[in-house]
Structure 1
Amino acid sequence: MMRHRSLLVPASLILLGVAGACDRTPDYVLKKKQMVDLLTDIHKAEGVVDLNRTRYGSDSMRKVMKQSVLLRHGVTQEQFDTSMVWYGHNIEKYIEVYDDVIARLESEVAEVDADQGGARVDMAVVGDSADAWPESRMHRYFYGQPDAMVRFNLRRDENWETGDIYTWRFYKSNMQSPLYYAIAAQYTDGTSDYMTGTTTGQGWSEIVMQIDTARTAQNVYGFATVSPAPGEAAYIDSIALVRTRFSPDHYDRASVRTYTPGRE
C-alpha cells in the first residue's frame, strides 16, 4: 500500500507539469480568464458610457471609467496594454479570448431580456437620446469568412422624429485592412440619403448621419465590411447607434448625398 502511495506523488506532479506546460502565456501577460473577465467588464462599462453620453461625453470621463474597471481587477494600464500587444501578436489566443468575451456578453444580454420579458430593445429606443443598435455589440472579421459584413435596418416607429441624428460608433481592434461602411435613410417620398466612406487603423470610428428635417424617414440602414488579408483576424466592438434629437446648432449634412429615383 505504501508503494502505491509513493507512486501517486510523482504522478500528480507530472500532471501538474503537463497542465502548466499547456499555458504558454508569459508571466508578464494576463492569463486568458483574467483577460476575459477584464474585457467583459470594460465593454459593459463602455456600454454605460454610450447610453449616458451627456454625463460621459468627454474623453477624460471615459478614461476615468476605464481606469475604475482596471483598478477593480487589480490591473495597471501598463499590464493591460502589454497584454493586449501580446494577444494581438498571438492571433489564435486573441480569438479565443474574444470568443469567450462575446459569449459572456451575449449570455448576460439574453438573461436581461428574459428577466424583462423581452422589453430591453423596446426600452432602448425610447427617449431623446438612446442607443438603437439592434444587433450584437461585437463582430469578428477573419480571412476566408463567408460573410464579413455587419448590417442593420431600423424601421420607423412612434419614437422617430424628423431631423433625428444617428451616430454609429464602434472600436476597431487588430485591424490591418480598411473597413468600408455605408449608412442610409429612406424617405416616404421615395428619395434616399446616404453616406459612404473608409476607415483604417485601430481605435474608435464615428459616423454621423443627419436626417433631413423636411422629409419623413421610414427606415435607416447600413453596413460595415472588411476584406481581411491572409492571417488577419480583426474585431469591431462596443458597437452603438445612438439617436439624438434635432438641434439647429448641430445641423450638418455636408457629407450626405441624396438619391432621387429617375434622376441621374
Structure 2
Amino acid sequence: MQKFILLLIVLVLGSACSTRPKVPRGLPGEKKMAEILADVYQVESVLGQTRLSYNSGDEDRVSGYYKYVLDRHQINKAEFDTAMAWYSAHPVVLSDVYSEVIEILSRRDAELKNQMNKEKEEQKKLPKVPSRLELWSDTTVFHVPFDRADSLDNRVPYNIELDSISGGILRLYAGYTFKEGGFLDSAQMKMIALYADSTLDTIYYQIHKSFNKVNGNISHKIDAGKHVINVSGFLLEHDTTTATVVDIEEVKLNFIPTVGMERVDLQ
C-alpha cells in the first residue's frame, strides 16, 4: 500500500506542469479505468495474502484471478495493456485515475466494515443456544449388585422429568466393567423418551461382557415438532434371574441442541 501511495505522489508531482489530454475513443474512460484498476489492486492484495505469484507454480490460478476481473469489465488483456500504455504515457490523467481508485477502495473498505459490524450486531441478537445440556443429576458411579435380592434395582433404573426439550439429540453414555463372580454374558442399556403427546420411543444398546471397560452409548434424535417431557429406562437391562457383578461409571445423559431449535426448557 505504501508503494502504491508513493507512486500516486510521484504521478501527481510529475503532472503539475502537464497539459491534460483527452482519453482516445475505444479506451476505457477515466472512471471505468479506475474501477478496473481498483479490482486489479484487490486481486493483487489477495495474491499477496495467499503468497501466490507467477513463480510459485500457481500461474494458472493467478491468471484466472486477473481474467475474472477483465471479463467482469468486458475487456480483454490486449485492450487492457493498450489502455495502461496510454494512461502511463499521460501521467496527468493517470494521477486522477489513481485518485479515484483510492476513493473506490476506501468506499469498499468502509462498506465491508459496516457489513461486518452489522453481522456482529445481528449475531448478538440471536438467542444463545447451549452446545450441550447435562440432564443426569444422580451419582455417576454404580457397583452392581446393590442387593442380590432386589433384582429390579440391580438393573439400575433411572427416571428424569423434564418440562420440555425439542430440536436436538439425547445421548446416554456409561462405562461398564464386568467382574468375576457374575454369570451375565451381556446386557442392554435402555432409554424411553416420552413425548408431550403421550407417544414414546424406546431405544436399546447391547453391552457385551468384558473384564475390561466397555462403553455403552445411546443416541436418539428427537423428531421435528416433538417435545420430550420424560426420559427413563435402565442402565443394565438384563434377565433378572441371572446374577451379575459389574461396575458402572461415568454416566452421562446429555441433550445436544441442533440448529433451528425453537426452545429448550428444563424444569
Larger radius of gyration: 2
Instruction: Give TM-score scaled by structure 2 length.
Output: 0.40
Q: With structure 1 as the length reference, what TM-score do the two structures score?
A: 0.40
